[in-house]
Structure 1
Amino acid sequence: MDWLGVSEFVAVVETHSFTGAAQRLGLSVAQVSRQVSALEQRLATRLLYRTTRKVSVTEAGQLYYLHCRPLLDGLRQAEQALAHALDRPNGHLRITAPVHYGESVIAPVLHRYLQDHPAVTAELNLDNRKIDLVAEGYDLGIRLGPMDESSLMVKQLGTRTHYVCASPGYLARHGEPHTLAELKQHQCLVGTVNVWRFKEPDGRMREISVAGKLRCNSGAALVNAALNGLGLVQLPDYYVHQHIASGALRSLLGAYTMTDGIWANYPRNRFVPLKVSGFIAALQQ
């Protein structure tokens, strides 16, 4: 059996473009196009319709894809089983994580992991959207917050704490809130949603609508706004812990501090590759 062009064809179907397939496989667009064309010539069948705007799958192409996808999965599992048997992490590790957490926490761990395991190479994609790990070919995804129902394997790495903070200057001018109801009297620096979540002392969850003169989808920008005295901010510990420690920000409403999870997600597989399990262990440490 000749596998030439099969991986490229499957990648084009799943990414809906030659460019997406090239990025997934680490090839040039021209290489992907040549391999798929050669596959069509060998099969004497058109598998894809190509226009300047899009790529679509022919009826024959859809039938061929449905048979090829399980074969590629089986080949990948065979390679992973072999890697597992070698008893050392190796191969290419594709990871996705949220932007700021990836920069501040995941990347330093990954750098050390690559130094400790010379046979591993890695790609770290930082993106705040929820990525389909299987469809986009990732080995591991780092997720923050409450976990939804998922067909993926899930392992908790730890927890994060959300702090409400403000600068001493802001508090000197506007006073300090001591109850959740008092938040309505303050300028609140709002992120992607205008709701802050809290845990009552009795364990119940509360959601409080907040408002203020600034809304921004960047946690780093909100921290700077709080440091400059523009209002209160609620952010996870990895954004604010150093500023709380230095006194540049003060932690507020400690009785209502909110915590949630940090998770590793990875596709279900009979053999979890050592490159994945080893990196998860590094993150847990």
Structure 2
Amino acid sequence: MDVLNDMALFVEVVKAKSFRGAAEAINVPNSTLSRRISALEKAIGLRLLHRTTRRIELTEAGQIYFERCKRIVDEARLAHEQLGEMLEKPSGLLRVSLPVDFANTYLAPLIAEFAGLYPGINFEFDLTPRKVDLVAEPVDVAIRMGEPEPSHMIARPLARLSPHLFASPRYLELKGEPKSPSDLSDHQCLYMLKAKIWTLDNGKETVAIQIDGRFQLNSVGMIRRLASLDMGIAMLPDEVVSEELADKKLRRVLVDWRGAPTPVYAVTETRLLPAKTQRFIEFLRARLK
């Protein structure tokens, strides 16, 4: 049991990248942590960590040991929690990385509903456009849009969002309404960086249209906002512009055409998930479908 406890302490030190950070996180004296890790290295017969005044770094042996230990520790914690589920509902801190615009415009009401169902769960949300490192950073699950890149991560499909074309009534009054996809070349289009070709489909044919406009952006929220301010035509999922449609700030154009579906995934480091994470993914999958 001492070895298993020391393995857990070693994992916490590596995750925190320092003895001090790990000691604060798990409420164990810094001196105790240092002594236990030194005893672990002595028992193994190999140095696991390079220690400096500011941080620690893994040796080659330490990297191999960490990868194995982390899985063992995660499985032990999961087994403990699953037994606890027999007595109570899921609880604890759920840490989620979310795409900024999709979270603000569509996921927020769903998150509020989920929080009402599970009062024992607290939340830590990181709204960011970057792809967080699920191994190095303290994140339980990342919600990502677009096809997942090849990796050892586990990607669970949640939904596929079909984008349509939208513009404000005022813009269409000033510039006229496109009658076919080819007419888009005569309009101001609001598009993501390096995405100057829109692929549209009407169920019978698929066309690729070269589009142009004064605005190139890396924010779906800004595209939505500029479209509602009469600055051009945007291609966005219905879920992202639901409020603007209800307020009649935007309306569909070329209603028979749609863009290529955008998949939404829940990405985790492992298949072994605690109850809080499992429930969250299951809830989003049911609601997003």
- SS where residue 178 of structure 2 aligns? coil
1:227/1:249 contact within 8 Å kept: yes
After TM superposition, the structure 1 = structure 2 runs for residues 64-213 of structure 1, keeping only pairs within 5 Å, are: 64-86=65-87, 88-147=89-148, 151-202=152-203, 206-213=207-214
Question: CA separation in 2, counterparts of 1:248 and 1:233?
Answer: 13
Deviations 1:39-62 (A, max 9, x none): 344346664334577642235534
Per the alignment, do residues 109 and 31 of structure 1 end up closer, same or farther by CA in structure 2, a change over 3 Å counting? farther
1:142/1:263 contact within 8 Å kept: yes
- How far residue 199 of structure 1 moved from its aligned partner, in angstroms, is 3.7
Question: CA separation in 1, counterparts of 2:48 and 2:74?
Answer: 20
Question: CA separation in 2, counterparts of 1:171 and 1:33?
Answer: 66
Letter of the 1:114 partner, please give it: A
TM-score by length of 1: 0.77
Question: CA separation in 1, counterparts of 2:64 and 2:148?
Answer: 35
Per the alignment, do residues 34 and 146 of structure 1 end up closer, same or farther by CA in structure 2, a change over 3 Å counting? same
Deviates more, 1:251-260 or 1:192-201: 192-201
Deviates more, 1:132-141 or 1:226-235: 132-141
* Count of aligned residue pairs for this structure pair: 280
- SS where residue 190 of structure 1 aligns? strand
- How far residue 12 of structure 1 moved from its aligned partner, in angstroms, is 4.8
Paired residue for 2:49?
48
- How far residue 241 of structure 1 moved from its aligned partner, in angstroms, is 2.3
Letter of the 1:109 partner, please give it: L
Paired residue for 1:37?
34
2:82/2:275 contact within 8 Å kept: no
2:228/2:249 contact within 8 Å kept: yes
2:100/2:129 contact within 8 Å kept: yes
Paired residue for 1:264?
266
2:201/2:257 contact within 8 Å kept: yes
1:198/1:256 contact within 8 Å kept: no
- How far residue 98 of structure 1 moved from its aligned partner, in angstroms, is 0.8
Paired residue for 2:18?
18
Letter of the 1:188 partner, please give it: C
Question: CA separation in 1, counterparts of 2:221 and 2:156?
Answer: 27
Deviates more, 1:49-58 or 1:236-245: 49-58
After TM superposition, the structure 1 = structure 2 runs for residues 229-268 of structure 1, keeping only pairs within 5 Å, are: 229-258=230-259, 259-268=261-270
- SS where residue 242 of structure 2 aligns? helix
Per the alignment, do residues 202 and 30 of structure 1 end up closer, same or farther by CA in structure 2, a change over 3 Å counting? same
**Structure 2 unmatched ranges of 5 or more:** none
**Structure 1 unmatched ranges of 5 or more:** none
Superposition CA RMSD, Å: 3.6
Deviations 1:129-170 (A, max 9, x none): 233435535333322234555655554433423122222222
Per the alignment, do residues 47 and 145 of structure 1 end up closer, same or farther by CA in structure 2, a change over 3 Å counting? closer
Per the alignment, do residues 116 and 239 of structure 1 end up closer, same or farther by CA in structure 2, a change over 3 Å counting? closer
Per the alignment, do residues 205 and 213 of structure 1 end up closer, same or farther by CA in structure 2, a change over 3 Å counting? same
- How far residue 244 of structure 1 moved from its aligned partner, in angstroms, is 2.5
Letter of the 1:260 partner, please give it: T
Per the alignment, do residues 28 and 155 of structure 1 end up closer, same or farther by CA in structure 2, a change over 3 Å counting? closer
Question: CA separation in 2, counterparts of 1:227 and 1:93?
Answer: 35
1:226/1:233 contact within 8 Å kept: yes
Structure 1 vs Structure 2: percent identity of aligned residues?
29
